């Protein structure tokens, strides 16, 4: 069991924590500088409303994230992620769990001479991993090399027009042999598709102004990598927008929407209510109500359950 846990942990580290962390309010997709957000998740099934959890985000005066606190009502679990800065640069994140105080995770960051991320070192209860980041001539990330015990991973970054992230390719090595290959496709720095050799499908992430979808396309294993590369080339050659990409994916016969999100936006185009559900169980909806406090003191939204907003979404989805 311990060996299985270690393998899963290393895979999790390799495919999640190697990413550059979100820091500024723009990284969290806010259009205007914020100081605090509160988001409550309500589960709604068979007309029964259950308040599930609340997430609070706090930003400093420079618009950078200070900490994220999540409280789970069902079992009084509290998790917190602290962001620690020095000379306005993120140097460490610390993840805390109120019920697993012996399982604190720490990420430490170092920088190049021009204040770009150089290394990321992660320590979670004795399991260590490290990431070295290299850059191309345009000062964009070229490669991240991850090392986990005897295993390692290369993640290569490719760009369109030199500065716009286009796609990434990752190879995970076990005992010096490639065991997992994966890729991600981007439009305007937003991931819109990915695949992994461990799954016989391509996943798509499509968006419009007031909605988003997660879509899967099942494929035979021997077609997976080539179909993904063909898609990347098509997006690049046609310089597709998010809307054009969404229309393309929704037109694919075998593509299946598995989750859908709908949003109510405020005057700053930040969402304040979200409705989310799996298409296999559309009656089991999740509603997120968010209150945003902006840096200038203005407030938008509420964390109170709003039946009028629920009915508005239900009418839209009929």
User: pLDDT confidence of 104, banded at 50, 70, 90?
Assistant: confident
User: Are the C-beta atoms of residues 277 and 255 closer than 8 Å to each other?
Assistant: no
Identify the pLDDT of residue 318: 73
Identify the pLDDT of residue 150: 82
H-run or E-run covering 55: strand 48-59
How confident is the model over 92-99, as a mean pLDDT?
94
How confident is the model over 208-214, as a mean pLDDT?
93
Query: In whole angstroms, what is the distance from residue 159 CA to residue 165 CA?
Result: 4
How confident is the model over 212-238, as a mean pLDDT?
94
User: Are the C-beta atoms of residues 117 and 131 closer than 8 Å to each other?
Assistant: no
User: Are the C-beta atoms of residues 303 and 39 closer than 8 Å to each other?
Assistant: yes
Query: In whole angstroms, what is the distance from residue 271 CA to residue 312 CA?
Result: 15
Evaluate if pTM is beyond 0.85: yes
Identify the pLDDT of residue 19: 65
Higher per-residue confidence, 125 vs 181: 181
SS3 for 237?
A: helix
pLDDT at 18 over 70: no
Higher per-residue confidence, 251 vs 19: 251
Q: pLDDT of 68-90, one tens digit each?
A: 999 999 888 999 999 999 999 99
């Amino acid at each position: 069991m311990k060996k299985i846990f270690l393998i899963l942990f290393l895979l999790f580290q390799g495919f999640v924590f190697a990413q550059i962390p979100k820091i500024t309010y723009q990284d969290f997709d806010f259009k205007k500088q914020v100081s605090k957000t509160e988001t409550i998740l309500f589960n709604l099934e068979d007309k029964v409303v259950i308040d599930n959890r609340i997430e609070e985000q706090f930003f400093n005066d420079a618009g950078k994230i200070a900490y994220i606190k999540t409280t789970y009502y069902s079992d009084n679990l509290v998790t917190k992620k602290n962001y620690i800065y020095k000379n306005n640069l993120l140097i460490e994140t610390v993840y805390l769990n109120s019920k697993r105080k012996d399982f604190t995770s720490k990420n430490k960051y170092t920088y190049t001479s021009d204040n770009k991320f150089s290394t990321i070192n992660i320590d979670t209860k004795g399991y260590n991993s490290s990431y070295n980041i290299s850059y191309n001539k345009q000062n964009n990330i070229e490669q991240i090399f991850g090392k986990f015990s005897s295993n390692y991973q290369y993640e290569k970054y490719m760009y369109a027009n030199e500065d716009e992230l286009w796609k990434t390719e990752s190879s995970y090595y076990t005992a010096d042999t490639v065991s997992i290959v994966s890729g991600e496709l981007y439009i305007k720095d937003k991931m819109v598709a990915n695949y992994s050799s461990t799954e016989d499908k391509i996943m798509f992430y499509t968006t419009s102004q007031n909605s988003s979808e997660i879509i899967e396309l099942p494929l035979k294993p021997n077609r997976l990598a080539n179909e993904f590369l063909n898609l990347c080339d098509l997006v690049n050659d046609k310089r597709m927008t998010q809307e054009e990409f969404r229309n393309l994916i929704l037109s694919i016969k075998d593509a299946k929407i598995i989750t859908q999100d709908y949003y109510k936006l405020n005057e700053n185009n930040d969402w304040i209510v979200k409705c989310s559900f799996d298409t296999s169980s559309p009656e089991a909806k999740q509603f997120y109500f968010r209150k945003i406090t902006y840096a200038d003191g203005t407030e938008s939204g509420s964390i109170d359950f709003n039946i009028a907003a629920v009915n508005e979404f239900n009418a839209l989805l009929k």
